[in-house]
Amino acid sequence: MLAKTTVAVLGATGSIGRATLDVLESLGGPWRAVGLSAHSRLPELVELSQRFSPDWVVAACPESAGRFDFTSLPAGVKRLIGPEGLIALAELPEVDTVVAAVVGSAGLASSLAAARQGKRLALANKEALVVAGSLLTHALKRSGGELLPVDSEHSAIFQALQAGRSREVARVVLTASGGPFRTWTAGQIAKATVDDALAHPTWQMGRKITIDSATMMNKALEVIEARWLFDLPAEKIQVVVHPQSIIHSMVEFVDGSVVAQLSPPDMRLPIQYALTYPDRIPCPCPKMDWTGAMSWDLEPVDIERFPALSLGWEVAERGGSCGAVVNAANEAAVELFLQGEIKFPEIVAGCRRVLEH
């Protein structure tokens, strides 16, 4: 198979977007970022354009673009404004791979556009699958496009699945760091502040997914993501808490053999694998140090303290529009929490109420 080396990075100014650009830089020629998108961090978009010389940039927020002076954008870089620009970038004929790293359902239309055009879709934007897993997977089937997971757990499962056949899978086990409140009591969690919730112990990520990790809604979204990525029923998807974030996830086969993927936590590894698959290429990420003693913990999940988790299995089982409903409620609730409008437990309680309604 020929390497797919021309890449559009949607959400280039974010945590996954920047990590993708680091990977492209380390891969070197012929790998290239053909297009970059930002929403409101336009000075950063210009800076990235100076460094990576894309052919296209997209400023997805028209209001921010209207206020911004683009004169320091390198000459010859073409500019698109507004959410339609994201779709146009994803559809460019010269783009082989679309890295979907926009946060939230705002990333759905461009992910779907890439899927319909038969691209390789390297998907970080899990919300797209949660909202429209059926649409997205059907579009890929029709177009012959590929869906490569960037989410570390799903990349681990994707890698472990190569040890057997899909009919031989007994279940997949997603690991969860447990977030900043893993050891907190329900009473303490009820009083958690925005700063408490943003202090993730193992991963540096954007604000929305960091709050999702604190509520463990992130793991619920990942259960739904796994349902669509691997075409598995909800009862074959399990979650276990693993605070060190070294074991990224596991697949248990029908004979009882469990295959896991491990590495120090660094998103550049799953991003690179999604770009270079089926090849493995040396990566700038830190490697495991097997010379010292170490121990890893595995704990059962606690649904009493983290009720978001039950929404994951429920939505994965019910399907239909449940994913879109819970995701929309969660995006709105996280925003309200970050603005200080609601208390931490209200995020998940609100999602539950909206789903019931």
Interacting residues with ligand NDP (CB under 6 A): 11-17, 38-41, 60, 101-103, 106, 124-127, 151, 203, 205-206, 209, 267
Of Mg ion, ligand NDP, none, which one does residue 250 interact with (CB within 5 to 8 Å by kind)? none
Give me the residue whose beta carbon is nearest to ligand NDP.
14
140: closest CA among 121, 165, 155, 122? 121
DSSP 26: H
* Cβ nearer to ligand NDP, comparing 78 with 142: 78
Minimum CB distance to ligand NDP smaller for 40 or for 190: 40
DSSP assignment string, 42-97: HHHHHHHHHHH--SEEEE--HHHHHH---TTSPTT-EEEESHHHHHHHHH-TT-SE
Per CB under 5 A, the segment of 153-161, 229-237, 244-252, 272-280 that binds Mg ion is 153-161
Q: Which of Mg ion, ligand NDP, none binds 241 (CB below 5-8 Å, type-dependent)?
A: none
Q: Which is nearer to Mg ion, 153 or 266 (CB)?
A: 153
Say how far apart CA 243 and CA 310 lie, in whole Å. 20
Three-class SS state of 280? coil
176 binds, among ligand NDP, Mg ion, none (CB under 5 to 8 A by kind): none
Instruction: Considering only residues 79 through 138, tell me which ones interact with Mg ion, judged by CB under 5 A.
Output: none
41 binds, among Mg ion, ligand NDP, none (CB under 5 to 8 A by kind): ligand NDP
Tokens of 191: 């009083």
Min CB(177)–ligand NDP separation in Å: 11
Q: Answer whether 73's CB lies under 8 Å from 79's CB.
A: yes
Give alpha helix (H) positions in the chain.
15-27, 42-52, 62-67, 83-91, 108-116, 126-143, 152-160, 186-190, 194-198, 207-215, 217-229, 268-276, 308-318, 322-338, 344-356
The region of 47-55, 132-140, 150-158, 234-242 touching Mg ion under the rule CB under 5 A is 150-158
Asked if 151 interacts with Mg ion (CB under 5 A), we say yes
The span from the CA of 272 to the CA of 264, in Å, is: 15
Q: Contact region for Mg ion (CB under 5 A) — 102-110, 147-155, 192-200, 244-252? A: 147-155
Tell the smallest beta-carbon distance from residue 355 to Mg ion (Å). Answer: 22
Cβ atoms < 10 Å from Cβ of 258: 13
Binding segment toward Mg ion, per CB under 5 A, in 151-159, 242-250, 274-282, 324-332:
151-159
* Closest distance of CB 42 from Mg ion, Å: 28
Residues that bind Mg ion (CB under 5 A): 151, 153
